[in-house]
Amino acid sequence: MGIIMNEKRDRLTGLFDKDSCVRLVREYLSEEQGGGVAIVLDIDNFKKINSLFGVERGDQVLKETAEILKEFFQENDIISRIQGDQFVIFAKDCRHNTGLDIRLHELCTTLERELTEDENTCLVTASMGVAITEDVGTDFDRIYQAACEALDQAKKEGKGSVQFYSKR
């Protein structure tokens, strides 16, 4: 995994791009170094942010989110922006426990902020779907799909929340 420095980056945020994220996670999982946790994070109401405040302010929200993620996760975790306002984080050697749940709720709180300009106000929140390799296996596509399913559930239950994947 020493080639991380040479991986492609998202131009706006400096995080790994989608292709690099997929390649790095697959490589890590194929080396049987252990499991991990995939988190798909989506900024709630992002279109509204762009509509009310403009694309430049929306880009600033994306950059701020990326900086928070870099501070929040470990240096060797895989943090990427894969499209628009969607981020994927693969936390290596992380397992489901109450500590993880608490930390991700803290991340939700950290990401929450209010934007105000002129008469426009919008609360910025993020929703997260989480899949754990212990529960879904080590195939990247399956892990990502499970995290996306959990993200959909989080958005249905109220934005600004965390939902762990479970085999319903």
For residue 1, pLDDT beyond 60: no
Encode pLDDT of 105-161 as tens digits. 999 999 999 998 888 889 999 999 999 998 898 899 999 999 999 999 999 988 899
- What is the C-alpha R_g of the chain? 16
Strand pairing partners for 36?
92
Continuous segment of H or E residues that includes residue 106: helix 98-111
**How would residue 31 be classed by pLDDT, with cut points 50, 70 and 90?**
confident
Encode pLDDT of 56-107 as tens digits. 999 999 999 999 999 999 989 999 999 999 999 999 877 666 688 899 999 9
Domains in the chain: ranges and CATH? 9-164 (3.30.70.270)
Q: What pLDDT score was predicted for residue 35?
A: 82
Encode pLDDT of 33-62 as tens digits. 668 999 999 999 899 999 999 999 999 999
C-beta of residue 37 within 8 angstroms of C-beta of residue 133: yes
3-state helix, strand, coil in the chain (%, to 5): 45, 25, 30
Q: What pLDDT score was predicted for residue 3?
A: 47
End-to-end CA distance of the chain: 35
CB crowding 126-155: b at 16 or more within 10 Å, else e: bbbbbbbbebbebebeebbbbbbbbbebbb
